[in-house]
Amino acid sequence: MARLRYLDPEDLAEADRDLLTRRNNLFRALVNSPDALRHFRFGHWIRFESTVDPRLREMAILQVGHAARQPYEWSHHIRVGREFGVTEDDVRAIMADSAGEESTLSPLERAVLAAARQMERDGRIDEATFATLNEGLGADQVVQLVLAIAHYCGVVRILTALEIDVEPEYQTYLEQFPLPG
């Protein structure tokens, strides 16, 4: 159960109602502080303006959610990831790679996932992983990828601290692709 009340547009001042064009539980909780939510929009840049391959980006975000065992992030980005080319096989590969099992992922894809796990766990990326990312993406996209991973490491902490509930329409993703216990 969420620690804050989920607000709807009619609960807000007229000037703040546009903040809930996306009526997910995260935004409905964060809009308890309209100005804070206004400044929380970095995720929009990550999703629509970053030049990192969208499939790789979504796989990194999924890895953060999986590594953090954060059901809201995991379920939401399984759905969002589909819009950007992430397949069910990719989701299974993330789960396998996370468990140290073999997968069909390329070295760059495995490095993206490793970077996300490492940053979620201790904020660092080891030298070998960083070298693979830098070789495969170049400096500009490495910076963008690190920013995306760092942002979503923060998002999973917000979701967990505020105990944001997974909406019913996302539960099916958790049933199909369960997080580790």
- pLDDT (tens, 9 = 90+) of the chain, 181 residues, equals 899 999 999 999 999 999 998 889 999 999 999 999 999 989 999 999 999 999 999 999 999 999 999 999 999 999 999 999 999 999 999 999 999 999 999 999 999 999 999 999 999 999 999 999 999 999 999 999 999 999 999 999 999 999 999 999 999 999 999 999 8
Contact residues for 10 (Cβ-Cβ < 8 A; gap 6+): none
pLDDT of residue 22: 84
Residue 153 and residue 145 in contact, taking contact as beta carbons nearer than 8 Å: no
- Closest Cα to residue 166, out of 80, 95, 75? 75
Q: What whole-number distance in Å separates Cα of residue 81 and Cα of residue 75?
A: 10
Structure tokens at 123: 């904020």
- Closest Cα to residue 125, out of 138, 136, 111? 111
pTM: 0.96
Chain Cα centroid distance, residue 78:
9
pLDDT of residue 134: 98
* Kind and range of the H or E run holding 27: helix 25-30
Backbone angles phi, psi at 175, to 5 degrees: -75, -40
CA dihedral (163, 71, 85, 134) positive or negative = positive
pLDDT of residue 45: 95
Q: What whole-number distance in Å separates Cα of residue 131 and Cα of residue 65?
A: 24
Name the CATH superfamily housing domain 53-176: AhpD-like (1.20.1290.10)
Residue intervals in the chain for CATH 1.20.1290.10:
53-176
Helix axes 107-122 and 127-137, enclosed angle (nearest 10): 130
- Closest Cα to residue 95, out of 80, 78, 79? 78
